[in-house]
Amino acid sequence: MEEYSEFFDESASELIERVESKLMSGESFYFDSDEYESIIDHYLISNDLDKCKIIIQLAMEQHPNSLIISLKRVQYLIRNNESERALVLLNEIQANEPDNSDIYRIKGEIFSQLQLNQQAINEFKKALEGTTDNLDEIYTSIAYEYCNLGDYESAILYFKKALEFDPENESVLYELTFCAEMIQKHELIVDFLIKYIEKNPYSKSAWFNLGSIYSSIPDYEKAIDAYDFVLAIDETFVNAYINKGTAFTALEKYEDALEAYKESLKYETPEEMTYYFIGECYEKLGQLEKAEDFYRKAIESDPSVSAARIGLGCVLSEKGHHTEAIVCFKEAVKIAKNDGEAWYLLADEYMEIGDFAKAKECYAKSVSCDTSNPDVWLDYSNSYAEEKNFSKAIEILQIGFKHHADSTDFKYRIFDYYLNNLQDDEAFAILTEALMEDYDSMEQIFEYSPAFQSNPAIIEFIERFRPPKLNSLLDSSLN
């Protein structure tokens, strides 16, 4: 048996090397309980549970009455997903150590693993009463349990407490920001972060989270300023460049967005979404060849990114390559089966090549995934109107009305369908409603059906509703 003094001055890494050597050779060894604690922690952290189990067994044989070893055994059981056994053992230990705060903390971890969140919170709070050590960790544990319960207000409170003891904890700052976004308490977290930054002006995490909150509000100009502070502190902070780029994109400042995205490429191998964002900027700037190139790079980087396939499809469609665009959109809906926008774009491409049957199938799929886009309903109904099936076109828009009851666009369009379906009374009744609600939009009647410009009955009817002070939109549409 080795003597404790032999290991007394060894560093942790040397201690582990010695253990590994003894385990390999099969030699016996002896360690003090504190040293066993360090060794067990190493194997727990590295998730080497097989060796951890061996060390715990040896430690228990050599130190059968050690509270430290017993608690480490409990932690091992928790890590090995044996929470119920761990709880039984911990209750036995607690009978002899009723005031030990570590027991309450570990019990909290067990209840957390069992998803008994409120019981976990109760145990963590008991741990707070009996210790002044690791308070930031206990507060953080309580905050996470409140997150699991969906009580983000309480989670914010405890994350703030954790930061009081460990202001440098970046993960807590991110979690705090996440909770504030979940309950839309943007102003609350902005105030907190500004005060935090006053005390910690070089905290790039605080500036970054402030930028994220400003983007959520949204106040993109302030977000960009915050990201600039991040980059002044750390020019290699890639996500700050990316978020700065998305903020510029939201402001439709695509050249500035491109500059931010390209700066990020200096410090990290670009991910697929970076390629996608660059492609999107080039597309918005009308530089279709470059947009296509970066969308393809995004797809090569990660074929599962549907957004890049959608972007590529849009570029190919704009270039008039509708068959190739269809291939892209079909791949996109294979990846994201419930993406209503992708189904809609696919439907439009089928309309472009005159395949109305497939277009209708895709429009139907689109509205089954997402009813919120009025343009889908209008185009879906149009796929029937193109074939002179106005009754079906009317039926589609009537279903759409259930989701867009206030849409005058629907009313102007259905006027056209009624009129073409020889339902004049219904047509002029719905036109009356549309003109009274939004006269300014009436020119879409003539955009959709130019022939109506030479129909005296329609012109005369519309004239009755012209507001006295309104410039002659109708006259200009006819000239």
Confirm if 141 and 165 have CB atoms less than 8 A apart: no
The model's pTM is 0.73
pLDDT for the residue numbered 443: 93
Question: Measured over all CA atoms, what is the biggest interatomic distance in the chain, rounded to whole angstroms?
Answer: 110
Q: Look up tokens 């049957």; give the residue.
A: 357
Residue 236: DSSP 8-state: T
**Under CATH, which number does the domain 372-479 receive?**
1.25.40.10
State the distance between the two ends of the chain, measured CA to CA, in whole angstroms: 105
Looking from the CA of 323 toward its CB, the CA atoms found within 13 Å total 0
pLDDT in tens, the chain (479 residues): 343 334 334 466 778 888 888 788 777 888 888 888 888 888 888 888 988 898 899 888 889 888 888 888 888 888 888 888 888 888 887 777 777 788 888 888 888 888 899 999 998 998 888 777 889 999 999 999 999 999 999 999 999 999 988 888 889 999 998 998 898 888 888 998 999 999 899 999 999 999 999 999 999 999 999 999 999 999 999 999 999 999 999 999 999 999 999 999 999 888 899 999 999 999 999 999 999 999 999 999 999 989 999 999 999 999 999 999 999 999 999 999 999 999 999 999 999 999 999 999 999 999 999 999 999 999 999 999 999 999 999 999 999 999 998 899 999 999 999 999 999 999 999 999 999 999 999 999 999 999 999 999 999 999 999 887 555 545 555 55
pLDDT for the residue numbered 21: 82
How many angstroms separate the CA atoms of 479 and 475, rounded?
6
Residue 452: DSSP 8-state: G
CA 403 to chain CA centroid, Å, is 26
